[in-house]
């Protein structure tokens, strides 16, 4: 079976290494490229790797880095021009955000290297619908974000703290109250959103109550749709549009 197309998460890792590698060293004998090949084979993205021919081997990884040479406007030579649309998109998204790129790549590698983390991330459901929310950070980090949002213990404490203070559980963006609108079936229901930007979340991040916001399902989806959106900016946008 032919190798699958490169996933955004994989390209984030490859681009991070590209910016740290001299053009003449983008080959299969480079120890860092060999290491990246190992990491790519550990990622819980493409399922069983044995069914693919030479899945993300060092030669293929080196060629992918060479693809970026053809995209990079600062490179005066000639790279491998057989790059795809996603290669170009990821390059231009992060060419001026190296720190964010490095942060994302570091956490993806940390997850790949930890069997327990890989298993936890692999267990988080992911659908075609979720693709709408992974434009920049990639599937692994998005699922990590969802993992933190599903910590039942901290979510329950957040609800109890909010109720004690306001005597209601309403959306912190639009003020929608499930209990008030739906009656008893909506009692105690509200979703939780992790405020921390995706690229700053780590597997071992300890979530505090202040890191969470109670939101309705609609506002939660909008917050995930635009990863730069905050509770405050979405609330302001909502009020401006009314």
Q: Does any domain span residue 99?
A: yes
Q: Does any domain span residue 67?
A: yes
DSSP state of 111: H
Secondary structure E strands in the chain: 191-194, 212-215
Q: Does any domain span residue 54?
A: yes
Sign of the C-alpha dihedral, residues 234, 105, 10, 193? negative
Kind plus residue range of the DSSP H or E element containing 239? helix 231-241
Residue 48, exposed/middle/buried by CB under 10 A (0-12, 13-18, 19+)?
Answer: exposed
Q: What is the pLDDT along the chain (242 residues), one digit of tens a residue?
A: 677 889 999 999 999 999 999 999 999 999 999 999 999 999 988 876 666 778 999 999 999 999 999 999 999 887 677 788 999 999 999 999 999 999 999 999 999 999 999 998 888 876 656 665 555 667 888 788 778 777 889 999 999 999 999 999 999 999 999 999 999 999 999 999 988 876 677 777 778 899 899 999 999 988 888 777 899 999 999 888 76
**Quick check: 145 and 176 in contact, CB under 8 A?**
no
**Domains identified in the chain, total number:** 2
Residues 159 and 107 in one domain: no
CA distances from 219 to 47, 94, 167, 175, 237 (A): 32, 27, 21, 10, 11
Q: Does any domain span residue 3?
A: no
CA 68, CA 195: separation in Å to the nearest integer? 33
Q: What pLDDT sits at residue 83?
A: 85
User: Of the residues 123, 139, 174, which one is the last residue of a structural domain?
Assistant: 123
Residues 171 and 235 in one domain: yes
Q: What pLDDT sits at residue 106?
A: 94
Q: What pLDDT sits at residue 185?
A: 96
Residues 15 and 100 in one domain: yes
Residues 153 and 54 in one domain: no
Q: What pLDDT sits at residue 127?
A: 64
Q: What pLDDT sits at residue 128?
A: 57
168: Cβ contacts below 8 Å, ≥ 6 apart: 177, 179, 180
Structure tokens at 64: 């992918």
**Quick check: 70 and 81 in contact, CB under 8 A?**
yes
Residues 118 and 180 in one domain: no
CA 198, CA 223: separation in Å to the nearest integer? 11
Residues 30 and 117 in one domain: yes
What number of CA atoms fall less than 13 Å from residue 157's CA on the CB side? 12
CA 174, CA 180: separation in Å to the nearest integer? 14
Q: What pLDDT sits at residue 1?
A: 66
Sign of the C-alpha dihedral, residues 193, 200, 153, 134? positive
Q: What pLDDT sits at residue 2?
A: 75
Domain assignment of residue 103, given as a range: 8-123
Residues 116 and 12 in one domain: yes
Q: What pLDDT sits at residue 131?
A: 61
Give the residue from 116, 115, 112, 101 showing the smallest Cα distance to 140. Answer: 112
Find where tokens 């990821």 sit. Answer: 90
How many other β-carbons are positioned within 10 Å of the β-carbon of residue 24? 8
The structure's pTM equals 0.76
Q: What pLDDT sits at residue 76?
A: 87
Q: What pLDDT sits at residue 129?
A: 60
CA 42, CA 116: separation in Å to the nearest integer? 12
CA 174, CA 200: separation in Å to the nearest integer? 26
């Amino acid at each position: 079976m032919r190798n699958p197309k490169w996933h955004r998460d994989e390209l984030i890792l490859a681009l991070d290494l590209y910016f740290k590698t001299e053009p003449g060293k983008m080959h299969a004998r480079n120890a860092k490229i060999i290491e990246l090949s190992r990491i790519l084979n550990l990622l819980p993205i493409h399922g069983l790797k044995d069914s693919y021919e030479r899945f993300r081997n060092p030669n293929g990884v080196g060629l992918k880095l060479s693809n970026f040479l053809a995209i990079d406007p600062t490179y005066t030579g000639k790279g491998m021009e057989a790059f795809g649309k996603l290669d170009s998109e990821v390059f231009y998204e992060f060419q001026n955000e190296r720190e964010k790129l490095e942060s994302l790549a570091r956490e993806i590698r940390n997850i790949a290297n930890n069997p327990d983390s890989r298993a936890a991330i692999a267990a988080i459901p992911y659908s075609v619908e979720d693709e709408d929310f992974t434009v920049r950070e990639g599937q692994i980090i998005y699922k990590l974000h969802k993992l933190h949002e599903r910590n039942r213990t901290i979510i329950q404490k957040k609800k109890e703290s909010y109720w004690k203070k306001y005597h209601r559980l309403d959306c912190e963006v639009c003020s929608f109250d499930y209990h008030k609108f739906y009656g008893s079936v909506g009692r105690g229901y509200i979703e939780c959103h992790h405020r921390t930007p995706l690229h700053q979340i780590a597997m071992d991040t300890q979530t505090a109550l202040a890191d969470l916001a109670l939101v309705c399902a609609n506002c939660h989806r909008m917050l995930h749709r635009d990863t730069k959106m905050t509770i405050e900016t979405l609330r302001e946008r909502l009020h401006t549009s009314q």
